[in-house]
Structures are given as structure tokens and as C-alpha cells.
């Protein structure tokens, strides 16, 4: 089950607001409705509540390509059958293909993101025998046990409410001795932008709503890997900061790369107003710095599973 209290970095006042709201969400059952949580994430990445996601590659390609390169560093993909979970616009999948994987299957819950993947595959000249994109839920993988040599996932883990279940499914579909490699959101990820956003959401809409975001400390991810039965567990953490021209540019990057999924929780007629208020706050307060905190985690499925 998802955690109740906020697991990332926030200012004391913002954390008090969020945790009070989260506790109320738990009492009312909203924080336990993981199906609704996933639907809101899906709505964001399908552009249902805002068109920011249409700029995903324009504003986020370099960012996510950097993370993908770090994730795949040192992995031997040649001749391997690879599953990319939460493939987004295919950044990791196409990088895996370029490194001579036997085949890559990329999955995502967003039909819009998958459409971008398929369009790019045609442009790049890749066949479905090389890379195939399908709409599936990471918690319920429709693959046989032991189907893949390597399971990859980049910047999806922190958006999944049942993280232990996903790790279990990843291990199930791996061949014995297969490898899982994922990048996830550390506790400081986007904390300046999240803090600013919390301050601009009207309480009458946001109170009792538990944001669908679960950043984790490096040790917590190590612990989840161990509890899921992986061996040869290793992690490393990357932290850097980007400075934008002004707060408006920082908001555009934040709103685009996150797909602004939380806006799907609010009345449709209020979404544009809330988003604009948020962007104005970023500009007025010069929230132009964004911290990136990435945890890279690797584990191996044992040769013999007890």
C-alpha cells in the first residue's frame, strides 16, 4: 500500500499542510484508492487535463536522455530480450535497441505516450520485431514467468502506489539470473517546484487529496529490493540542479516533465485557472531552480527461487 505521510523533502509549513491532508485522505479512504490514483496519473500523461504533456520531448528530452544513459551504463544489452516498464516516449527503449538488444517491449499506461513511441519507431526505421510498444499496467504484467533477460524502468517507480508489487512482477517476468535496472525519484526530486505548487492549490480542492508521488531514500529502495528477493543489489544516487531563465520557464519544464497529473483531481473548469496561478507564483517568487535527485537501483533474480 502507498505510504500516508510525505516521503520527500518539503519546507516545514508545506509538509504540515500536505501531511494533514494526507492523514484526512487516509481516514476517508482516498489515499487507499490506488485504482483512482493510477487513473489520475494516466490522465495527466494522456494530456486530458492539460496540454503540457505535448511538449514532453521538446522540454524534457535532454533531461530524460541523461538519466537513461546513466541507467544503462555498464549493462550488456546485446542479444537480450528487454522489457521497458513506463516507457514514456521511448527514450530508454530506443537506447536499448541501439545497443543491439534482441528485442525490446515498451509498456505504458498512457495511450498518448505510446503513440509518440510508435511514431518515432517509424521515423527511426525500426520494425515491431525490434521494438514493440503496448498499453499495460506495471502492476499486472501479461507476460509468462521468465520471459525477459533484463527489465528496465526509468522514472516511473515514484509514480506507482504499490511499489513492492511492481518489483515482484518485474522479478516474476525475469529469467533466472536476469537483471532489473530502474531509476527513481529521490527525496529531493523537484522539491522546490512541488513546494511552490502546494502553496497555490486552493485548499477547498486540495484538502484530503494525497498526491500520487512516492519519492524514496536510497536505503528504502535497497530494502524493497531485498524484501522482493533480489540479489546483487546495488544503488547509486545522482543529484544536480538546473537554473532556468525565470520562474515561468522553470514551471513550464516542471509542468511538462511531470505531465501535471494532479490537475486531473480538480474541477475541469478550474484547471486552467489553477495552472496559471501556479505559473504566476513561480514567476513572482522567482522559483527558477529545480533539483534533480535520481536513485539508480539494480538487482538480480536468483538462479533458484525459493
CA dihedral for 151, 155, 159, 161, sign (positive or negative): positive
pLDDT digit string, tens, across residues 266-300: 999 999 999 999 999 999 999 999 999 999 999 99
- DSSP classification of residue 79: T
Q: Where are the alpha helices (DSSP H) in 99-188?
A: 111-124, 163-173
pLDDT of 205 reads 85
Q: Is residue 227 part of a domain?
A: yes
**pLDDT exceeds cutoff 60 at 306:** no
Q: Is residue 4 part of a domain?
A: no
Q: What is the mean pLDDT of the chain?
A: 95
**pLDDT exceeds cutoff 80 at 65:** yes
pTM comes to: 0.95
Q: How confident is the model at residue 108 (pLDDT cuts 50, 70, 90)?
A: very high
Cα separation, 102 vs 189, in Å, equals 34
Q: Is residue 273 part of a domain?
A: yes
Range(s) of the domain holding residue 268: 12-300
Between the CA of residue 197 and those of 244, 287, 291, what are the distances in Å? 17, 10, 15
- In 3-state terms, what secondary structure has residue 292? strand
Domain containing residue 199: CATH number: 3.40.50.150
Between the CA of residue 39 and those of 36, 50, 160, what are the distances in Å? 5, 15, 11
**pLDDT exceeds cutoff 60 at 159:** yes
pLDDT of 127 reads 96
Q: Is residue 7 part of a domain?
A: no
Q: Is residue 240 part of a domain?
A: yes
pLDDT of 203 reads 85
pLDDT of 20 reads 95
**pLDDT exceeds cutoff 80 at 164:** yes
Stretch 151-157: mean pLDDT: 98
Task: State the residue for C-alpha cell 505504458.
Answer: 108
Report yes or no: 151 and 101 within 8 Å, Cβ to Cβ: no
For the chain, the domain total comes to 1
Q: Is residue 111 part of a domain?
A: yes
pLDDT digit string, tens, across residues 83-104: 999 999 999 999 999 999 999 9
Q: Is residue 306 part of a domain?
A: no
Stretch 165-194: mean pLDDT: 98
Q: How confident is the model at residue 1 (pLDDT cuts 50, 70, 90)?
A: low
**pLDDT exceeds cutoff 60 at 305:** no
Q: Is residue 3 part of a domain?
A: no
Amino acid at each position: 500500500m502507498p505510504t500516508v505521510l510525505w516521503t520527500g523533502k518539503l519546507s516545514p509549513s508545506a509538509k504540515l499542510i500536505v501531511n494533514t491532508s494526507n492523514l484526512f485522505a487516509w481516514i476517508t479512504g482516498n489515499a487507499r484508492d490506488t485504482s483512482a490514483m493510477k487513473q489520475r496519473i494516466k490522465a495527466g500523461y494522456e494530456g486530458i487535463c492539460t496540454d503540457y504533456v505535448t511538449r514532453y520531448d521538446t522540454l524534457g528530452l535532454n533531461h530524460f536522455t541523461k538519466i537513461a544513459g546513466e541507467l544503462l551504463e555498464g549493462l550488456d544489452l546485446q542479444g537480450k530480450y528487454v522489457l521497458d516498464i513506463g516507457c514514456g516516449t521511448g527514450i530508454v527503449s530506443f537506447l536499448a535497441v541501439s545497443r543491439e538488444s534482441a528485442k525490446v517491449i515498451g509498456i505504458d499506461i498512457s495511450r498518448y505516450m505510446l503513440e509518440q513511441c510508435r511514431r518515432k519507431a517509424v521515423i527511426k526505421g525500426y520494425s515491431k520485431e525490434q521494438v514493440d510498444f503496448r498499453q499495460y499496467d506495471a502492476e499486472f504484467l501479461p507476460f509468462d514467468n521468465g520471459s525477459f533477460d533484463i527489465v528496465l524502468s526509468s522514472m516511473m517507480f515514484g509514480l506507482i502506489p504499490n511499489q513492492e508489487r511492481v518489483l515482484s512482477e518485474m522479478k516474476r517476468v525475469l529469467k533466472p539470473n536476469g537483471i532489473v535496472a530502474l531509476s527513481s525519484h529521490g527525496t529531493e526530486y523537484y522539491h522546490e517546484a512541488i513546494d511552490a505548487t502546494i502553496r497555490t492549490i486552493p485548499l477547498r480542492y486540495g484538502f484530503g487529496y494525497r498526491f500520487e508521488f512516492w519519492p524514496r531514500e536510497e536505503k528504502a529502495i535497497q530494502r524493497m529490493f531485498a524484501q522482493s528477493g533480489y540479489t546483487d543489489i546495488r544503488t547509486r544516487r545522482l543529484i544536480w540542479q538546473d537554473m532556468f531563465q525565470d520562474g515561468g520557464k522553470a514551471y513550464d519544464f516542471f509542468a511538462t516533465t511531470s505531465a501535471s497529473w494532479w490537475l486531473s483531481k480538480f474541477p475541469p473548469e478550474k484547471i486552467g485557472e489553477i495552472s496559471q496561478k501556479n505559473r504566476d507564483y513561480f514567476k513572482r517568487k522567482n522559483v527558477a531552480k529545480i533539483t534533480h535527485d535520481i536513485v539508480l537501483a539494480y538487482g538480480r533474480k536468483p538462479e533458484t527461487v525459493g
